Amino acid sequence: EAKRLGRNNSQYFSENSNGVVTDGLEMVSSLRRAVENQEMLLHYQPKYDLRTGRMVGAEALIRWRHPKRGLVSPIEFIPMAEEAGLIGGIGEWVLQTACRQSRDWQNAGYPPISVAINVSPMQLERDDLVHQVATVLEQTGLAPELLEIEITESGMMRKVEHSMAVLQKLKNIGVRISIDDFGTGYSSLSHLKRLPLDTLKVDKSFVRNISSDHENHSIVKAIVLLAGSLKLKVVAEGVETEEEYKVLQNIGCDEMQGYFKGRPVPANCFAERHLDTGHLSWPAQKIAQLCA
Ligand code: C2E
Ligand code: MG
Ligand code: MG
Ligand code: MG
What pLDDT score does 288 carry? 63
Q: Reply yes or no on whether the pLDDT at 5 is more than 70.
A: no
Tell which one of 35, 47, 61 to mutate to probe ligand 1, the residue whose CB is within 8 A of the most ligand atoms: 61
Query: Distance from the CA of 61 to the center of ligand 1, in angstroms?
Result: 6
Nearest CA to ligand 1 atom 2: 118
Q: Would the pTM count as exceeding 0.80?
A: yes
What pLDDT score does 277 carry? 54
Q: How far is the C-alpha of 126 from the C-alpha of 230, rounded, in Å?
A: 28
DSSP 281: G
Q: What is the pLDDT of residues 10-58, one digit of tens each?
A: 444 444 444 455 577 888 999 999 999 999 999 999 999 999 999 999 9
ipTM higher than 0.85? yes
Confidence of residue 284 (pLDDT cuts 50, 70, 90): low
Distances 245 to 211, 218, 225, 253 between C-alpha atoms, Å: 9, 16, 18, 10
Contacts of 29 (CB under 8 A, 6+ apart): none
**Range 247-252 contact pairs with CB under 8 angstroms and sequence separation of 24 or more:** 247/210, 247/211, 247/217, 248/50, 248/207, 248/210, 248/220, 249/50, 249/51, 251/217, 251/220, 251/221, 251/224, 252/224, 252/228
Nearest CA to ligand 1 atom 45: 118
- Which residue type occupies 46? P
Query: Distance from the CA of 145 to the center of ligand 3, in angstroms?
Result: 20
Residue 129: count of CB within 10 angstroms of its CB? 22
Closest CA to 262 of 56, 106, 48: 48
Query: Distance from the CA of 237 to the center of ligand 2, in angstroms?
Result: 9
Average pLDDT, the chain: 89
Residue 286: count of CB within 10 angstroms of its CB? 11
Q: Which residues surround ligand 2, an ion (CB under 5 A)?
A: 118, 150, 180
Q: Residues lining ligand 1, CB < 6 A?
A: 45, 61-62, 73-75, 78, 94, 118, 120, 150, 180-181, 204, 237-240, 257-259, 264
Nearest CA to ligand 1 atom 10: 264
CA of 117, closest atom in ligand 1: 41
Mean pLDDT, residues 261-287 taken together: 77
Half-sphere exposure of 89 (CA within 13 A, CB side): 12
